[in-house]
Amino acid sequence: MPDYQRTGVELLTDSTPTADGFYFPAEWAPHDYTIRALPPPQNWNGFGIPLRDIRQQWADVANTLSQFEPVLMVLRSEDKKVARQLLSKEIDRLELPLNDGWSRDAGPMFVVNGKGHRRVAGFTFNGWGAKFPPYHDDALLKARVCKYLDVPMYPIDLVLEGEAITVDGEGTLITTQQCLLNKNRNSEENKARVEKLLNESLGTKKIIWLEKGLKPDPITDGHVDGILAFASPGVVLLHVTDKRTDPNYKICQNAKRCLQESRDANGRTFEVVDLPLTSDEVGHMHFYIGNGCVLVPITGRHREDFEPMGILRDIFPKHEVIGIDGTALGQGGGGIHCITQQVPKIS
């Protein structure tokens, strides 16, 4: 576990979020704001993508989202100039050390209670199985943000990125064995202990395990947000393909079978909505549900974007569904969901 104490954050070590009455809300619950991180060049040199294109897409997402809710952008002090050039004046900035820009994975996961309080479930970040060293600043990011916001944090001895789970806010969590039980993350853990830590940390009661995420995935080892997402309690969007030669055909079919045979924490069967896997370049499932908006990574090619965007508009009729170029994000192994982390509103 990282040395959180040197950040000065208040650490809660004598209890758990669930024992203290906290839980992790669903993404569609109202947000106070969204936390983002502007990527440094460190981990992008091997992808062959100009850094300006990467940062432009990060900024496009932030600037669009800022029209619907406040955005807090974490950035290195040496990137202040580029931030002024790219970001709307409406976006708040916080200067902290960074290794990368995937705030869903390294940023704080906020849990809330019914008394108007927020805490952070401080899972351990290890650079996606130590694939991209150094990652020490990202491992401390959640604690440093908590210190800045004066929010206490529960240190949790479980390696978990935010993209590895999806929740319905009513006690159900879906994840993949490929990621959370991977030897590069929790090799000494057993499945029962992982479930116990998840439930103690996020207020969940039922864990549904898919076997795998989509291929190819050399970075995240099967993050669940690439293959499915909760749309509402009892309703799950699932990527599918009709191409039997696609290695994802069997993966998606197995995931659908698992969902159809499962029940959520409240005993409901799942309504599974197919979202066609139409692009090798962009994962439309990597959308983000903001206050009144759904931001979707797109290719800009009608034949690949049209059907997924139509389905998302049907699923989220009360939200403005907006497509944003996600090609550089896709080349880097992610999407809009991967670069956003919501801060749930408290009463």
Catalytic residue positions?
A: 338
Is there a contact between 346 and 116 (Cβ–Cβ < 8 Å)? yes
Q: Is 221 left (phi over 0), alpha (psi -120 to 50) or beta?
A: left
Phi, psi of 325 (to 5 degrees): -50, 120
Return all residues near 264 (Cβ < 8 A) that are at least 6 apart. 168, 170, 171, 172, 206, 208, 233, 234, 270
Which helix (H) or strand (E) segment holds residue 307: the answer is helix 302-315
Q: Can you tell me the distance from the alpha carbon of 138 to that of 161, in angstroms, rounded to the nearest whole number? A: 11
Residue 152 makes CB contacts below 8 A (sequence gap 6+) with 9, 10, 11, 12, 119, 120, 146
CA pair distance 298, 281, nearest whole angstrom: 9
Count of residues for the chain?
A: 347
CA distance linking residue 239 with residue 283, whole number of Å: 9
> Which among 3, 10, 14, 17 is positioned nearest to 197, based on CA atoms?
17
CA 343 from centroid of its chain's CA atoms:
12
What is the H or E stretch that residue 62 is in? helix 51-65
Give the residues across from 166 on adjacent strands.
174
Strand order in the sheet with 166-167: 166-167, 172-176, 206-210
Q: In this structure, how many other beta carbons lie within 10 angstroms of the beta carbon of residue 147?
A: 17
CB contact at 8 A, 248 and 290:
no
